[in-house]
Structure 1
């Protein structure tokens, strides 16, 4: 059942058949004693980001990672901790050998957790990247800069010149990369980024609504929005409709991360509701978990990295800029 190569295939099939017939499952604690491993992977969530627990992006990532853990016979160790205790918790996990590795969520620019984990020798994979971190580490990320550059360029091709950016918190690496993609696309077309059209906030429906409403009430409002989350985009759509405008006719909208289990970018129609830079968070969770498990299995291998591309999919939320705005 452990997949040892010296066992014949015929014997392996008989053992697996017997295990299924008797509903046998290996005892992970006993297996851990034999192998010296905890057979568990850690996820540490600070209280300041406790909203992650109900965030469908986090839930989809955990679901994908959980599939990989289950297939490999590993359990998941989830810790919700006070912000001031986060460093101590990582050290405790390593010293007590409660887990064999961890996945780091929501990396910051110059994230101190990377240096800490490297020093205490706990295997880890970062979901995202940390700009400014010069040492080697393993990571899996979406090409956020290219995704937002491409989306901004698409809106510019439609004739939009005032494009609002409703972004996530920009002390987080992904949000900074998205802003860079947006501003670089504008710069290539000779358009100066307008601070009045850029917002950095937690990605909630309420913040999306309030930010879009404030921009739309300006003397020269945006004719399009680029939004970092489908959750925020729902609020943006509410603001557009509250002002008597129509999304996809009067105002265009592109969203990111529409491939979520509980926020499908579809209402049963063949054409998606939102034009989106699409990525599967569930698949990212599975890949990150598999990457970490391979590192645990072969600890002397060099750090791994994987950059995933987002797909720009057309929906009903984008249209050419109104004639008077061109």
Structure 2
């Protein structure tokens, strides 16, 4: 492979320099795509991946060119279609595939159990070219069936650590939880509650672990009475926030495991006649589009959902082209975005 990253010959006599010229980008950008680096725009990434596959890099021809021809379809299977979180993921995957002339077929997995059988049957019946999966679980049997069907796939935000060799994209959840809680500590908060997602989910556990680490770092005790678990959606979070804010010694800040949970905390505070952030600070997670439009504007941890989906689409295109993703586990960096919903604790 010596020299390949800097323009060495690819199968079929093509060089990365030629591919870079055809894509209108630098050789270093092509190299970044080959190594699945996250610092490449989604549309650029998809365009380069298609050219690599069409030119036989790293060695598939014929069927790959057919599979990646304009008009091809990739399946996007997601647990639930409602909510802005799903919309952002679908948007990212659709834009990446549209850039290479391919389309997206979206369907809902609707939870666990028999629904997994239905979406697997649907993929088999459609003879799909590939699949991007945001599903509640992917066990060894489902993994083997996808392999047997010859369907290249990638996961987004898996519930548990996937089987070895399965490509997946996630966010840096532990650092995100750490940054959110550190921010509240630095504002002066000492009683900080957390409303997490389901405790069995990888992302939820990591966010709460980051919260705990920030408390430990600050020398603050971890109080299990300030921890609640929901399902990242509104209604359970609303009930949990009411419960927390009604405590005899209520928290002065709430770190919510999702922006939807943060909005539910807003509603609970209003129900109790409390103001955000004067009486209770709120920090969310995801930075969905509405976070900058609610009042007060939501302090949250940004996870680039559209970019994550574009990276997963790129993994599937790479597999379709006969190659392998440079890494089977990609975590996109989260980032704290400070707005108006967090401030110093009230004087009591």
The alignment's TM-score, normalised by the length of structure 1, stands at 0.76
Alignment of 1:249-268 (within 5 A): 249-260=278-289, 263-266=290-293
8 Å CA contact retained: 1:109, 1:172: no
Moved more, 277-286 or 59-68: 277-286
Q: Is contact 2:259-2:288 (8 Å) kept?
A: no
**Gap change, CA 1:226 and 1:135, over 3 Å in 2:** same
**1:285 — aligned with what?**
309
Distance in 2, matches of 1:201 and 1:308, equals 24
Structure-1 separation of matches of 2:305 and 2:64: 34
Count of aligned residue pairs for this structure pair: 289
Q: Counterpart in 1 of 2:88?
A: 60
60-69 or 32-41: bigger deviation: 32-41
Q: Distance in 1 between matches of 2:228 and 2:324?
A: 43
What residue in structure 2 maps to residue 17 of structure 1? none
Asked if 2 retains the 8 angstrom alpha-carbon contact of 1:107 and 1:126, the reply is: no
Where 1:72 maps in the other structure, the secondary structure is: coil
Alignment of 1:119-198 (within 5 A): 120-129=149-158, 131-133=160-162, 135-198=164-227
Q: Cα offset for 1:220? A: 1.1
Q: Which residue, out of 90, 93, 100, partners 2:123? A: 93
**Matched position secondary structure for 2:240:** helix
1:1-326 aligned at under 5 Å gives the runs: 35=66, 39-45=72-78, 49=79, 52-80=80-108, 83-87=113-117, 89-90=119-120, 93-94=123-124, 96=125, 98-106=127-135, 108=137, 113-114=142-143, 116-118=145-147, 120-129=149-158, 131-133=160-162, 135-260=164-289, 263-266=290-293, 273-300=297-324, 303-324=327-348
Give the Cα–Cα distance (whole angstroms) in 1 for the partners of residues 200 and 189 of structure 2: 28
Q: Secondary structure at the match of 1:174?
A: helix
Equivalent residue, structure 1, for 2:41 = none
Structure 2 residue aligned with 1:15: none
* Counterpart-to-counterpart distance in 1, 2:241 and 2:207: 18
> 1:106, 1:172 within 8 Å by CA — same for their partners in 2?
no
- Are 1:107 and 1:173, in contact at CA under 8 Å, matched by a contact in 2? no
Distance 2:212 2:141 in 1: 27
Q: Once the 2 structures are TM-superposed, how far is the Cα of residue 302 of structure 1 from its aligned partner?
A: 5.2
> Tell me, what secondary structure is at the counterpart of 1:53?
coil
Cα RMSD after superposing both structures: 3.3
The alignment's TM-score, normalised by the length of structure 2, stands at: 0.72
- Describe the shift of the 1:174–1:246 C-alpha distance in structure 2 as closer, same or farther (beyond 3 A): same
User: How far off its partner does 1:190 sit?
Assistant: 3.4
Shift, 1:81, TM fit: 5.2
